[in-house]
A and B are shown apart, each in its own frame.
Chain A
């Protein structure tokens, strides 16, 4: 049985796809057979971030509709042979994802994979609800900013009432906070909510803090998940996040301002 992980947020643009790509790649690099699924029907982007956009032939909706089988639609990652991508369809049909269809695909994938990472679209429409419905674990991606934190709380409500685990009275989904685009320097000057602030408001366990980093844009420009860039702070922070997801106890990094030289401190 695979563990189903949804990467969700409510708000758009907070880093769900970046995080899905990084976390799925990290799990696979640690030797776990992983598939990452794009649930953003009509606005496919995970393939671009993963750098496999030119290899998409069949997609998630084709598989649900029986127009292709899973083996035809799954794209094997070129960097890591334990990693597969199931791209979203570009159809404009809003009802392309059905609970039965998604459930069947996830059940089939469960036989073969250890982890299924579901990259949720923004919002609380069908795609987002389907991405979280079957989840065992939720990674609530949040920016230290008012609208993102509020939307994350809305999504926590959905996880607790609209998921399969809630409907079947099973053990609730394990919810984790992933704080992205964090600037320790701005937290220090009182311009940005701190990790502790966000954790106190949302009251869920912290999985990781990803610092605001130029490496993220550079990585998506070239279609390489940022976790591959182990020189970068963001890449290392994602590696720590994956280790914590696998149960390791690792201290937080990149949450306090780095030391600056004397000249830089004076002239900025």
Chain B
């Protein structure tokens, strides 16, 4: 890096910091999905389709979560926020 570059680059903000921030978010998201079964995304889609037959909802209004409490018991938690009207 030359002296000229030094003056130029010091003004810009670091793109590495942006990369790190973006990665931390996507990796955290990836890890939260890590232990869920492969069928979960498709099942979520189908549940949304069924609800949409009756109520107009968007994907963000449905959260599907699978919690493994112990070896014999898994709990599927379905949370739907219905619109006011």
Contact = CB atoms under 8 A, between A and B. Distances in A.
- The contact size tier of chain B is 20 to 34
- Secondary structure type dominating chain B contacts: helix
Interface stretch (B8-16, B48-56, B59-67, B73-81): B8-16
B13 to A, nearest CB: 8
A194 B16 contact: yes
A190 interface: yes
Interface string B16-27: 110110111011
A150 B1 contact: no
A193 B13 CA distance: 14
Contacts of A170: none
B42 interface: no
* Most chain A beta-carbon contacts within 10 A, residue among B16, B30, B34: B16
B20 A201 contact: yes
Interface in A132-162: 145-146, 149-150, 153-154, 157, 160-161
From DSSP, what is the main secondary structure of chain A's interface residues?
helix
Nearest to A185: B1
Given A201-B23, A266-B2, A191 B30 contact: no
Contacts of A149: 23, 27
Listed from nearest, the 4 A-B pairs whose CB atoms lie closest are A190-B14, A268-B2, A157-B34, A197-B20
